[in-house]
Amino acid sequence: MASDAAAVPASFDSLRHQVQARYDGLSPHLQRLARLALEDPNSFALETVTRLAQVAEVQPSTLIRFAKEFGYSGFSDMQKVFKLRLIEGAPAYREQIYQHRQRLEATAESDPMAILEEFTDASILCLERLKDTVSPESLAKAIEMMAAAEHIYVIGQRRAFPIAAYLAYGLARLEHRTQLLDFVGGMVPQQAATLRPTDLLIAVAFAEYTPAVVEVVRDVHIRNIPTLTITDVPTSPLAQHGTVYFCVDDADIHRFRPISGSMSLAQSLIIGLSYYKDARKEGRAPRS
């Protein structure tokens, strides 16, 4: 626990930096709370200790321990930082997602059409958020890495699988040598072992991260093979081991998260690569 009162984070940004810097040293339960705090700070500002404990699947006392870990006197003291973030005019994205979740829970049972409306609206918010958070430099670098790779391997499971599958499909349409690591036959470790420094691994995973995917990304990273990763928060293992990584904020509004933001990013990478290749064929320098 922090002992210096001056080191206690007074703003959400400073707390976020401390959480990211100290994430690896936290216990598994505190890491779970850290991910929730970074993914959904509005819930930390607006929900009760009991509700947050239910969402994170921890004991209420763990939230108090989490707050004290960063020098606060208790959870209510930490919660002031999250509330201040809302008052000071932080981006309204999460607040809007929170409102969508509340409306969906209130109306879904009696009005199935509400599910379509709320997911559609939430997807629009995710897409708007994507435009604000993706760095042009990272996008350009990712496309250059894809163009330079002799062979691209793509991996993703669970919610990430449709995104990985679409990436493999799009790259194959561009006639780029591509292989989707689909876990059929349990041969993914052996397939990943064939990657060379001239290849590229594209990995997609969100919390809770599929251990087999994390292991492949870590192995490829250790072997100094380029990795392009799509994940949810900077503390994720895919972000930590990605040569270039993107954090896509597909916020939870119900049991299933929208994948519109991640899919739009995947399509942008594919189409961007297409234009990059066309420019090189025509002898033009691709625009950076």
Query: Residue 150, preceding bond cis, omega within 30 degrees?
Result: no
pLDDT at 33: 93
The pLDDT > 70 percentage for the chain reads: 84
**CATH (residue range 5-87):** 1.10.10.10
Spans of all domains in the chain? 5-87, 97-132, 134-281
pLDDT at 248: 86
Give the tokens for residue 214. 């994390």
CA distance 210 to 193: 18
Q: Could you give the angle at which helices 28-39 and 49-56 cross, rounded to 10 degrees?
A: 110
The structure's pTM equals: 0.66
**CATH (residue range 134-281):** 3.40.50.10490
- Is the pLDDT at 101 greater than 70? The verdict is no
Q: How confident is the model at residue 122 (pLDDT cuts 50, 70, 90)?
A: confident
pLDDT at 116: 79
- Asked if 121 and 148 count as a contact pair (C-beta separation under 8 A), the reply is no
pLDDT at 210: 86
